[in-house]
Amino acid sequence: MACRLMITLEEDEASALARLAFAEMRDPREQVRYWVRQELMRRGALKPTAAPADAESPATTPSNGAATSGGD
């Protein structure tokens, strides 16, 4: 079951979110979802799992789905 949250952002926060989401080719709502999931896993509140297909950044994931080394 999905849970919907409403958050209030200042104009500069919303603009920064939009810029980063655009840079990672995500909808701002999906960008926030990605960040929340990453932080929950980092803090140990959520067990690391295989990321949903939409969670990986298209900018760093080749079209064949293989992970990049990041140091190219």
> Helices 28-42 and 11-23 sit at what angle, rounded to 10 degrees?
90
Cβ 59 vs Cβ 23: under 8 Å:
yes
48 versus 51: the higher-pLDDT residue is: 48
For 27-48, the pLDDT digits (tens) are 999 999 999 999 999 999 999 8
Which amino acid makes up residue 19? R
Per-residue pLDDT of 7-24, as tens digits, reads 999 999 999 999 999 999
